[in-house]
Amino acid sequence: MKISILSHKAMQITSEDDVVLVRREVRALAQGQGFDSFATAAVTTAASELTRNVFVHARSGEVDIDVVSDGRRNGLRVTFRDKGPGIADIDRAMRGGYSTARSLGLGLSGSKRLVDEFTLQSIVGTGTTVTFVKWKPF
């Protein structure tokens, strides 16, 4: 499946306020693409969880927000990149309940359930990259 990028926006995460800024951007793009309210809430919430994860675990990072197309439909692809401590036990983190001080431990597992595609790469001591895609529902 060939994915083309229709628009690109890069944002920095450096403070807790960026959680709101990133989700505002994602919400606006989702609405602009005609996502219904359920899909918009799902993608906005996932972006909020993952942005907060970056801030809490790595203090800073980057977000790429792309409007993409697979030729049949448009979607949002959001990538979160940090140079934080990385995740030692990815399976455990993805199962949920891997709680930190500022979350329910649902950041990763919960976000994955809200989107269509979800990939996580993490190297301890190097950082973590999470990418999700949410396609516009037919």
Q: Cα 10–86–9 angle (5° rounding)?
A: 5
Residues near another protein (CB under 8 A), total: 28
Helices first, then strands: H and E counts in the chain: 4, 5
- Judged by CB under 8 A, does residue 28 bind another protein? no
Between CA 77 and CA 9 the distance in angstroms is 11
40 binds another protein (CB under 8 A): yes
Interface residue with another protein among 1, 37, 125, 138 (CB under 8 A) is 37
Beta bridge partners of 17: none
**Site residues for another protein per CB under 8 A:** 16-17, 19-20, 23-24, 27, 37-38, 40-42, 44-45, 48-49, 52, 96, 102-104, 106-107, 109-111, 113-114
